[in-house]
Chain A
Amino acid sequence: MTSAEEQGKGAEPLLEVQDLCRRYGEHVILDHVSFRIMPGDVVAVIGPSGCGKSTLIRSLNLLERAESGRILFHGRDLLTLSSREAAATIPRIGMVFQQFNLFDNMTVLRNVALAPEISGGLTRSQAEEKAMMLLERVGLAGRAGAYPSHLSGGQKQRVAIVRSLAMDPEIILFDEPTSALDPEMVQEVLALMRDLAQGGLTMMVVTHEMRFARNVSTRAMFVCDGGIRVDEPPERFFEDPPDPRLREFLTTAGMRG
C-alpha cells in the first residue's frame, strides 16, 4: 500500500497511530485518527488552517496530550509509558518548529551540543565535536559562536534542524518549518530538508509548500474535519485528487505544481 512497503524497506512500522482522539471542549480536533509511518517515509501533511495539523503532529511526541487512542513507536505505546521511559524515547522523535525555538541564551554550538551532552550521554567535547561536524554539513560552522538573535531566519531554522539531528532521531516532525521565513530564505531550508529526505531520513512535514510536497514526499495526507481524508502517493494526490474537498483546497491554494 504505502510506498515504503512497496519498496520493501521493512515490514515493521516505525510509528503507528490508532484511534487518536483530541478535543478542546466541544470542539473535536482529532476524531479517531489512524495511520502508520514506515521507515524512510516522507509524509507531507496538508490541510486548511485550524484543521488540527499541529495538534496531530504535536500529539506524536506528547507535546499535546491525546485523550484516547494509541501511539505505537516501534510497537510500544507512548501514551502508557512512565515519564522516565517517555523521556528516553521522545528524543528519538525529533521536532522542528515554525518559530525555530532556538535557546536564546546559548550560542549556535551550545544549542546543538546541549542535549547530546546532558541527556545523550556524550562528554562536552564529544558533543561539541559532533555539533561542529553537523554544522559543517549544513554550511553553518562559521556561525558556531553566534547567538540566535544574530542569525537570519533561514539560518535559525537550519540550526534548529541540526539541533534535532544531533540526537540521532529516527524520525523528525516538522510543523510548518518555512511559514515564518521571509520568501528568499524558504529555499535554503527546503533544500536541506530535501537532502535529508534523500539521505533516507523518515520525516513528517506539515507544510503549505505544495511544490515541496509534490516533489519530495513519498506520501501526502489531507487533514480536514477531524480526520485524515486522503493519504496517497503525491502523484495521485496532486494530479488526480480523490476527494472533492481536497480538489477545492488545491484550487484555492493556487496549487502550482
Chain B
Amino acid sequence: MFLNAARTALGAAGMGAGSVPCFYKEPVFRECRLFTLLPLLWALIFFCGCGQARDPCQPSSVEEIAGCRVGVQVGSTADQGATALLDRLGYADMLERFNSSPDAVTAMKQGKIDLVIVDHQPALEFLRKNPDLVILDFPFAQETFAGAVALERPDLLAEINQALIRAEEMGIPEKLRQTFVEHQGDYHYVQKNQGGAPLVMATNAQFPPYEYFEGGQVTGYEVELARAVADLMGRQLRIEEMEFDAVISAVAAGKADFAFAGLSVTEDRQKSVNFTRPLVTTRISVLARSGMAAASAGEEAERSLSQRFHDNFIEQDRWLFIARGLGITLLVAFLSTLCGFAGGFVLAVIRSWHDRNGGLAVPNFLAVIYINVIRGTPVMIQLLIIYYLIFAAVDVSKILVAVAAFGLNSAAYSAEIIRGGIMAVDRGQFEAGRTLGLSPFQIYRHIVLPQAVKKVLPALGNESISLLKETSISGYIGLADLTRGGVIIRSITYEAFMPLMAVALIYLILIGLMSFGVSRLERRLRRDER
C-alpha cells in the first residue's frame, strides 16, 4: 500500500542522491544540507512520468515472470497468485504491491516495474486507454468473482443468491456483460426502487469494467448487477466506496451488508466471509509495456498542459472530486480541531490542577494514560481502531468517525500544549489570588486560564495546521476527502502529476493562510503585552 509507494519514491530519491557528489565528502557535509532537497525534487520528477524504461522484460510463460519487476493490487487474487509463484521461484522481493491496479499501471508506464498482473477485463480496459501496453498471450490463472456476505448472515446470503438467480433468468447479467465487457449496445440497469430499507454495498471503484467512477458516480458491471439484485429484494442500494483491502473487513465487521468488488473466491477469504453465486468467470492476465513505450511516454509529455488539465479536471466534471473532497477535509479538520481543543482543555486543567493544587489523583492518572496512549500510537492506527473496533457495530457517518479519531488524537497533543501554558503562569498569580481569598477554582477561571490560553493560542494554531494535514489519511476509512479526491482522479486518468499537484497546491494554500493567521495572532498578542 503506502509502504510500497514510499519505497518506490525512496528508490527514486536514492537514484537522485547518487548523482550529488558532495554527499560522499564528510567535511563539506554541512554545506550540502541544501542539496538534500535535490534528490527529493528528482524523486518528484521521476514520479511525474519522466523515468526511463529499462530493458523490456517480456516473458512467454508464467515461470519466466521470475526476474521481472512485478506489480499487483494489494490483496487481490493476482497478489496472492504472484506472491505464491515468486516465493516459490525465490524472487519474492521483485513483487510490488500497489493500492490499486491503476497505480500499478502508472508505475509500469513510468518504468518502475515491468509487468502488472491483473484480471483480464480490467487489463483490456487499461489497454483501451493506453495503446502503449500489451497483454501477454499466456493467462496467469483462471478465476471466479463472487459477492461477499458476513458469515453471521446466511439469510441475507440466501436472499442475494435468489435475487441473482432471478436476475439470470431475466437475462440481466448477459445484457450487462454486452455493455460493459464487450462494449456492444448500451443496456444499463437503473434502479427502480427508491424506497425500502437501505442495502449497503462495499466496493472499490478502481476496477473497470466491474466497478469504476464515471461522471462522479460509481458504476460498472457488478455495480449495475447489484442495483438489479437490490430491486429484486425490494431494498434501496447504498454504495460505500473504499480501499480495496478494506472491503472484506467492512463486510465482516458489519459496516456493509455485502460486497461486490471483483472479489475472487479464495480459501483465505472464505474464513471471514461467505461468497454468493459466481458473478463473473474470467482469467488473470499479464500486462506489459509494448516496444512503443518510450515513444508514447514522450508523446504523453508533449501533450499540452491545457489538454492534460482538461482531462484531469474539466472532463466529466472531475474537479468535483477535489471540490467535494476539500469541503470534507475542511469540515473534518474544523470539527476535530474544536473537539481537540475542548478535550485538551479539560485534560490540561485536570493535569495542572493535580500538579499545582494536589487532588484529582484518579482523573489525573487516567488523563496521563490517555495522553501517553494517544501520543504513543500512530494516528492512522487510531483511525482504523475507531472505525473498525469502536464503531464496529454502529452505522455512523464516516465524517463523525474521522472527527472522533482526529479530535481524540488532537486532544492529547493540545492537552500538553495547554498544560504547558498553565504551568508557565507565574506562581505569584496563584499566591496573590489566594491571599485575596479566591478559591482555586476562581483563580483558575479568572486569572490562570485566560493567561494560559493567550500564551498558547499560537501553538494551538500550529496544532490545527498539523491536524489539517493529518486528515489526509481519511481515505483509509473510505472518506472522500481532498487527498482521496486526487487519488480517484489519478485512478481514472492514469496521470499522477496533475491531480497530486493540484491537491498539494490546495493544501499549501490552506496551510499558508492558516500560518499567516497564526503569525498575525502572535504579533497581536505580543503587541498587547507592551
B428 pairs with A97, CB closer than 8 A? yes
Closest to A89 in B: B437
Selected from A91, A94, A97, A102, the residue in CB contact (under 8 A) with B431 is: A97
CA distance A164 to B432 in the complex (A): 9
Chain B residues lying within 8 Å of A87, measured Cβ to Cβ, are: 437, 439
Interface residue tally on A, bucketed by range:
20 to 34
The yes or no answer to A90 lying at the interface (CB within 8 A) is yes
Selected from A104, A119, A149, the residue in CB contact (under 8 A) with B437 is: A119
B431 pairs with A63, CB closer than 8 A? yes
A105 pairs with B447, CB closer than 8 A? yes
B145 to chain A, nearest CB (A): 66
Of B436, B439, B529, chain A has the most CB atoms within 10 Å of the CB of: B436
Of B434, B454, B529, chain A has the most CB atoms within 10 Å of the CB of: B434
1/0 contact trace for A55-84 toward B, CB 8 Å? 000000111000000000000000000000
The yes or no answer to B89 lying at the interface (CB within 8 A) is no
Within 8 A of B (CB), among A92-128: 93-95, 97, 99-106, 114-115, 118-120
B444 to chain A, nearest CB (A): 12
CA distance A100 to B431 in the complex (A): 11
The yes or no answer to A163 lying at the interface (CB within 8 A) is yes
The yes or no answer to A191 lying at the interface (CB within 8 A) is no
Chain B residues lying within 8 Å of A97, measured Cβ to Cβ, are: 428, 431-432
A149-B529, A149-B530 are contacts. A167–B436 as well, Cβ < 8 Å?
yes
A97-B431, A99-B428, A118-B446 are contacts. A105–B451 as well, Cβ < 8 Å?
yes
The yes or no answer to A88 lying at the interface (CB within 8 A) is yes
B454 to chain A, nearest CB (A): 7
Of A88, A91, A115, chain B has the most CB atoms within 10 Å of the CB of: A115
A164 pairs with B428, CB closer than 8 A? no
A119 pairs with B435, CB closer than 8 A? no
Closest to B437 in A: A91
A22 to chain B, nearest CB (A): 17
Of B434, B437, B528, chain A has the most CB atoms within 10 Å of the CB of: B437
CA distance A22 to B529 in the complex (A): 39
B432 to chain A, nearest CB (A): 4
A164 pairs with B454, CB closer than 8 A? no
Within 8 A of B (CB), among A142-161: 147, 149-150, 160
B436 pairs with A119, CB closer than 8 A? yes
Closest to A97 in B: B428
A226 to chain B, nearest CB (A): 24
A93 pairs with B435, CB closer than 8 A? yes
The yes or no answer to B429 lying at the interface (CB within 8 A) is yes
The yes or no answer to B450 lying at the interface (CB within 8 A) is yes
Closest to B451 in A: A105
Selected from A61, A104, A106, A120, the residue in CB contact (under 8 A) with B435 is: A61
CA distance A104 to B425 in the complex (A): 10
Chain A residues lying within 8 Å of B395, measured Cβ to Cβ, are: none
B429 pairs with A103, CB closer than 8 A? yes
CA distance A61 to B432 in the complex (A): 11
Of B432, B438, B451, B528, chain A has the most CB atoms within 10 Å of the CB of: B432
B437 pairs with A63, CB closer than 8 A? no
CA distance A103 to B428 in the complex (A): 9
Within 8 A of B (CB), among A42-61: 61
A118 pairs with B438, CB closer than 8 A? yes
CA distance A90 to B436 in the complex (A): 7
The yes or no answer to B442 lying at the interface (CB within 8 A) is yes
Closest to A83 in B: B439
Selected from B435, B450, B529, the residue in CB contact (under 8 A) with A91 is: B435
B437 pairs with A103, CB closer than 8 A? no
B436 pairs with A115, CB closer than 8 A? yes
A73 to chain B, nearest CB (A): 14
The yes or no answer to B302 lying at the interface (CB within 8 A) is no
Chain A residues lying within 8 Å of B432, measured Cβ to Cβ, are: 95, 97, 101-103, 160, 163
A-side interface residues toward B, CB under 8 Å? 61-63, 87-88, 90-91, 93-95, 97, 99-106, 114-115, 118-120, 147, 149-150, 160, 163-164, 167
20 new A-B contacts at CB < 8 Å, known A105-B450, A147-B528: A61-B435, A63-B435, A90-B434, A97-B428, A97-B431, A97-B432, A100-B428, A101-B426, A103-B446, A104-B429, A105-B451, A106-B447, A114-B438, A114-B446, A115-B436, A118-B438, A119-B442, A160-B432, A163-B436, A167-B436
B-side interface residues toward A, CB under 8 Å? 426, 428-429, 431-439, 442, 446-447, 450-451, 454, 528-530
In the assembled complex, 14 residue pairs joining A and B whose CB atoms fall closer than 8 Å, in A order, are A61-B435, A87-B437, A97-B428, A100-B428, A101-B431, A102-B432, A103-B447, A106-B446, A114-B446, A115-B436, A118-B438, A149-B530, A150-B530, A164-B435
